[in-house]
Amino acid sequence: MNDETAEQESWIVDGRKALTQRAGEFLRNMGQDLDAIAKEYSSLQEDFISQLPIQQHVDLKFLFFRLDFNEFYRRLCPSM
């Protein structure tokens, strides 16, 4: 094997390592972003659901009944 071939193989190996490292960083960042979005969504949804039972309008009370038809949210947060 000559020096040029060894240099090309070294460049390919280094490129693969860099690509793998960047892909790993991207996936870690994406996972953190998705976790943050999920946490924010859950918080907003919980706030919304907790406000429905105390509303005076019959349609909003019915919406709560429809969203919580199997009492999942009521069991999740018994104060409702």
Q: Quick one: pLDDT band at residue 4, thresholds 50, 70, 90?
A: low
Residue at 36: amino acid letter: A
- 0.75 exceeded by the pTM? no
The reported pLDDT for the residue numbered 2 is 62
Question: For the chain, which residues make up each domain, given as ranges?
Answer: 3-76
Please report, for residues 3, 7, 15, 30, 40, the alpha-carbon distance to residue 22 in angstroms, rounded to integers and kept in the order given. Answer: 28, 22, 10, 12, 27
Best CA proximity match to 64, nearest among 40, 38, 46: 46
Per-residue pLDDT tens over the stretch 14-61: 888 889 999 999 999 999 999 999 999 999 988 888 888 888 888 888
